Chains A and B, each alone.
Chain A
Amino acid sequence: MLRGISVVCSWLIWSFLACSASAQEVDIKPIIAEFAQAKKFRDVEVIVEKLGATGDSRVGSSLRALSDGKLKFRISDGEVFIVEDGSAFDPITREKISIGDGDPNSFKKVKVKNSLRRKIAATLSGLTLKSTSVERRLRSASTIFKNADARSLEALETALVDEENIDVRVAFSDAKAAATLASDRSSDEKLIAIDRIIERGGSDALSLLSRFSIRADGELKTAIDAGISKIQSSLAVWASAQNVWYGISLGSVLLLAAIGLAITFGVMGVINMAHGEMVMLGAYTTFAVQELIRASAPELFAWSLAIALPLAFLVSGTVGLIMERGLIRFLYGRPLETLLATWGVSLILQQCVRTIFGPTNREVGNPDWMSGAFEIGHLSITWNRLWIVVFAMAVFTVLYFIINRTSFGLDMRAVTQNRRMAGAMGIRTSWVDAMTFALGSGIAGIAGVALSQIGNVSPNLGQSYIIDSFLVVVFGGVGNLWGTLVGAMSLGIMNKFLEPYAGAVLGKVIILIAIILFIQKRPRGLFALKGRAVEV
């Protein structure tokens, strides 16, 4: 109780101090200046503790900068600044300061590590409950919840009285429940807190309750353990929903990788081993576009993918066109030779890219709208995966439209179904072949733009997708776009349901065996073409 009073008192003193800005600047400035002298992590920790003890909410900007590795001191005179994008700011007021030559080498970073970052987050959480930024208030609530920090309890209760934002109120109440559980309050209060935490649910709540389950006894332990099993069973339901989502997202990646092949292999019957390299070229186009944007117009970065899309289509499509005109057209009807020749082309393309761009991974950045995740219930969905699902569907729709609703699509289907008849009707069959191959390759290039967002951009990128692409097309049924869609999705979902039980390695083996058995039963895949086309 005594401690409670002292906390309230000190909080009152803090808030009093917060009103008299001029008085405290004198107080914290020398403490911040000590960062320049800190040699070891322990020294930095002591200074952070000192700053926290002042209770001044304006230490926030320097502590946040320290946590982000932006707090630096000038080597010449040991003055501490926040350095961001080449400009320096005052560590307390965050006002921009002119620093003369601005040579980045004249500054040295104040060292920080994980345990310090945790400490800073905990310190800040107590100080920023009254922050004007909603985001910061939410973040400090979530830190208090995770840490179950009993010392923040009174501050939280006071903050809760004035809080008007409904989201923040909920977060504060959750944090208060966690803090109550850690405090020395009565069992009745704790039981209410446990109910609140169970109601919140999710893995953080589970983690919190598991921690207290070890220490608690009596009715508290019974309540906590009941809560744990309740949260676990609700999470299990969410986990299977999560698996379906993962499956769909893996399926869309497979669909993107395979859809170009569905045209070159599925429709034209060319075993194109260089398909993966078309995907790779698309990814490298994205890289080149981003490099150019970074160098000349950084403000366009959010649009880099949109700019890369048509270019990737053109680059891969042109390479495909050259391949078809220069090589594949001489090999129609000779699948084995086509296989070997295209494989050779794939090696040549890989080595070309290796020579031009180097053998190491290239950095393709994610625009902001493709980073991070959001939650629906306890289902966490990452933005990049969501956009890839949307994109895969869009590509599928456009391609379906081209094949079934345009005159080029009609020519294409006519030539693949009966080449001589189509020729007799006046269709330039060799031109249609070339264009179809270019279309398939171009689509692969577009896929490369999307795949560059989730994986490596290296010369080997294509190889990792080629086997899966063939699996999808063969499983779905050669020559059928719907087959490719259903094939990709079922492979993706199957994979994701097997993975938790069988592991990633065995899961892949099982799928491969399942497909071999399936092909034995239905040699033409899920959606077999019927009618005369099959005989040709």
Chain B
Amino acid sequence: MLRRHFLAGIASCSMLMGGWAYAAEDTIKVGVLHSLSGTMAISETTLKDAMLMLIAEQNAKGGLLGKQIEPVVVDPASDWPLFAEKARELISANKVAAVFGAWTSVSRKSVLPVFKELNSVLFYPVQYEGEESERNVFYTGAAPNQQAIPAVDYLLAEEGVERWVLAGTDYVYPRTTNKILEAYLKSKGVAAEDIMINYTPFGHSDWQTIVSDIKTFGSAGKKTAVVSTVNGDANVPFYKELGNQGVKASDIPVVAFSVGEEELAGFDTAPLVGHLAAWNYFQSVEAPENTDFIKKWKTFTKDEKRVTNDPMEAHYIGFNMWVKAVEKVGTTDPDKVIAALPGITVPNLTGGMSTMLANHHITKPVLIGEIQADGQFEVVSKTDDLVPGDAWSDFLPESKLLKSDWVELKCGSYNTETKACIGGS
């Protein structure tokens, strides 16, 4: 009884003393904000498991600042407003030091105001459309210049593609990416009639017409390729239809930005051999870090067939960066951690080092892989240097003058022409 009063006393004291609260607790809490039910559970559950593994591993190494890390897992159930509520719950009620989470762009947009208001840190692990840079968010997935643009460059150079189909699911990521790609292709001299843009609803299952349209579009005597930003769930029927209608990779290659090892685990990839995907990581990459990571992952999930994928690597990088930043400043205080993160360099899983940049994006290699019959990818191209993530695309007129720099300029959207910060700082 006495003990409880004593603890309660300490707790109230620590609340009064603000920052000291962190020192009074014997664990450091980390929030995991990934959907475990609903539509997005298919992709996000894996990331939750990956976070739990990373935290367990760090704890086995002795934790952080001499304390154990405690994961706080919540389920926003693929419901965008619920993401904001759960984020608020994590930060206000659970007092987490940082949050790792969100997948779709709309869920990220939904939690942004919460992280700004309560001043916390979010690590966002998925490739996204760019055109954003927030002080409280660290983007460990690819920006368009780290995925879409290099993929198109590969097709231009290696396959000599002249006609382009930009196919995507109808929401913000594909629309923005396709806008950037269209501007980029036109800047490379591709005529407007050689670009076909097609959008489909979420979970689209009947691809007969679209695949036959692609075939027709591809019979104009010029080499044709499909750039697919089709979202997770709709990919299986899309690829099945491609396979059945005999669209071969050697005739019309499809390069996808949302199809990874996890998505391919859902079907027989034999008819799809040679279709492409662009990522910053593939499970098949031969690097000691990766072999080690895959082994740990299989042991952790107790499943020999579990695959690893790109967003998992993003969490691996993001978590290690956060750990390193916290160790550097000796506290989990968000302001200090946010200030310490840019410049932090940690190993990635492809045998290189990734650095957090001043614009809160990271440097990554870009890999192009071809689908193999066993559901894995074979890397056919890898950039020699790391590509720094660019928050604001240089190929869109409205964003090419913008720059993000949270170190020098303290601004996420600085107009280099008018020398003014248009977003809040």
Residues of B within 8 Å of A320, CB to CB, are none
Asked if B201 and A504 make an inter-chain contact with CB atoms under 8 angstroms apart, the answer reads: yes
Q: Which residues from B are CB-within-8-Å of A22?
A: none
Closest to B46 in A: A360
Contact with B along A450-479 (1 / 0, CB 8 A): 000011111110011000000000000000
Q: Is B203 interfacial (CB 8 A cutoff)?
A: yes
Residues of B within 8 A of A354 (CB): 37, 41
Cβ of B271 within 8 Å of any chain A Cβ, yes or no, is yes
Interchain CA distance A373-B243 in the complex, whole Å: 9
From known contacts A69-B373, A360-B266, infer whether A380 and B170 are also in contact, taking CB-CB under 8 Å. Answer: no
Q: Which residues of B contact A133 (CB under 8 A)?
A: none
Contact of A500 among B38, B209, B265, B373 (CB under 8 A): B209
Contact assessment for B244 and A459 in the assembled complex, using a CB-CB cutoff below 8 Å: no
Residue among A114, A146, A212, A373 making CB contact with B245, cutoff 8 Å: A373
Closest 8 CB pairs of A and B: A361-B266, A210-B221, A211-B221, A203-B219, A207-B219, A382-B244, A359-B41, A504-B200
Closest Cβ of chain B: how far from A149's Cβ, in Å? 15
Residue A366 interfacial (CB < 8 Å): yes
Contact in complex: B267, A361 (CB < 8 Å): yes
B383 within 8 A of A: no
Closest to A500 in B: B209
Q: Is A365's CB within 8 Å of the partner chain B? A: yes
- Whether A454 lies near B220 (C-beta < 8 A) is no
Decide if B410 is an interface residue (CB 8 Å cutoff).
Answer: no
The answer to whether residues A114 and B253 also contact, given A454-B205, A464-B203, A500-B213 and a CB cut-off of 8 A, is yes
Residue on B nearest A249 in the bound complex, by CB: B208
Listed residue (A207, A383, A384, A508) with the most chain B CB atoms within 10 angstroms of its CB: A207
Q: Known contacts A360-B42, A508-B201: does B250 contact A214 (CB below 8 Å)?
A: no
How long is the Cα–Cα vector from A103 to B220 in the complex, in angstroms? 48
Q: Bound state CA distance, A242 and B219, in angstroms? A: 17
- Smallest distance from the beta carbon of A66 to chain B beta carbons, Å? 12
Cβ of B318 < 8 Å from any Cβ of A? Answer: no
* B242-262 to A contact mask, C-beta < 8 Å, 1/0: 011110011101000000001
Q: In whole angstroms, how far apart are the Cα atoms of A69 and B273 in the complex?
A: 9
In this complex, the interface size class of chain B, counting residues with CB under 8 Å from chain A, is 35 or more
A204 to B248 CA separation, bound complex (whole angstroms)? 13
Q: Are B274 and A114 in contact (CB under 8 A)?
A: yes
Task: Quote the shortest CB–CB distance from A72 to chain B (angstroms).
Answer: 13
Which single member of A361, A364, A505 contacts B200 (CB below 8 Å)? A505
Among B213, B233, B244, B271, the most chain A Cβ lie within 10 Å of the Cβ of: B244
Q: Taking the complex as formed, is A64 at the interface, i.e. its CB lies under 8 A from any CB of chain B?
A: no
Residues of chain B within 8 A (CB-CB) of A359 are: 36, 41-42, 45
Supplied contacts A114-B253, A464-B233, A504-B204, 18 more A-B pairs, CB within 8 Å:
A41-B380, A114-B276, A114-B380, A206-B221, A207-B218, A207-B220, A210-B221, A212-B221, A250-B206, A250-B208, A351-B37, A359-B36, A361-B236, A456-B205, A458-B233, A460-B233, A504-B198, A504-B209
28 residue pairs bridging A and B, Cβ less than 8 Å apart: A114-B253, A114-B274, A115-B158, A204-B219, A206-B221, A207-B219, A210-B220, A210-B221, A211-B222, A242-B212, A359-B36, A360-B46, A360-B266, A361-B236, A361-B263, A363-B266, A366-B268, A372-B244, A380-B212, A380-B246, A382-B244, A454-B205, A460-B38, A460-B42, A496-B208, A500-B209, A505-B170, A508-B201
8 A Cβ contacts from A195-230 to B: 203-204, 206-214
Query: What is the CA–CA distance of A121 and B274 in the complex, to the nearest angstrom?
Result: 14
8 Å CB contact of A456 from B170, B198, B215, B237: B237
Asked whether, in the complex, the Cβ of A505 is within 8 Å of the Cβ of B233, the reply is no
Residue of B nearest to A118 (CB): B250
Q: Are A207 and B236 in contact (CB under 8 A)?
A: no
Tell which of A69, A253, A454 touches B240, judged by Cβ atoms closer than 8 Å.
Answer: A454
Q: Inside 8 A of B213's CB, which chain A residues have their CB?
A: 500
Instruction: Assess the B245–A380 pair: CB atoms within 8 A.
Output: yes
Complex Cα–Cα for A367 and B150 (A): 37
| Cβ–Cβ < 8 Å partners of B201 in chain A | 504-505, 508
A245 to chain B, nearest CB (A): 8
Complex interface bits, B194-229 against A, C-beta within 8 A gives 1, otherwise 0? 000011110111101110110110111110000000
Whether B372 pairs with A69 at a CB distance below 8 angstroms is yes
Q: Which residues of A contact B373 (CB under 8 A)?
A: 68-69
Residues of A493-528 at the interface with B, using a CB-CB cut-off of 8 Å, are 495-496, 499-500, 503-505, 508
Interface of A is mostly: helix
Q: Is A130 interfacial (CB-CB < 8 Å)?
A: no
Residues of B within 8 A of A464 (CB): 203, 205, 233
Known contacts A250-B206, A455-B236, A460-B203; A114/B244 CB under 8 A: no
Contact yes or no, A383 B244, CB < 8 A: yes
B94 CB within 8 Å of chain A = no
Complex: A359 Cα to B36 Cα, angstroms:
8
Q: How far is the CA of A16 from the CA of B249 in the complex (A)?
A: 36
A242 to B265, CA, bound (A): 31
| A69-B273, A210-B221 known; A460 vs B199 contact (CB < 8 Å) | no
B221 to A: closest C-beta gap in Å: 3
Whether B237 lies near A454 (C-beta < 8 A) is yes
A246 sits at the interface (CB 8 A): yes
Nearest A residue to B372, CB-CB = A69
Given the complex of chains A and B, what is the CA–CA distance between A365 and B269 in angstroms? Answer: 10
Q: How far is the CA of A208 from the CA of B218 in the complex (A)?
A: 11
CB <8 Å contact, A460 and B39: yes
Q: Is A117 located at the chain interface by the 8 A CB criterion? A: yes
A499 contacts B209, CB within 8 Å? yes
Chain A nearest CB from B358 CB (Å) reads 36
Q: CB of A385 within 8 A of chain B?
A: yes
Chain B residues contacting A504 (CB-CB under 8 Å) are 198-201, 204, 209-210
Roughly how many angstroms separate A117 CA and B274 CA in the complex, as a whole number? 9
Tell me if B244 and A384 are in contact (CB < 8 A): yes
Q: How far is the CA of A362 from the CA of B209 in the complex (A)?
A: 25
The residue of chain B having its C-beta at the shortest distance from the C-beta of A496 within the complex is B209
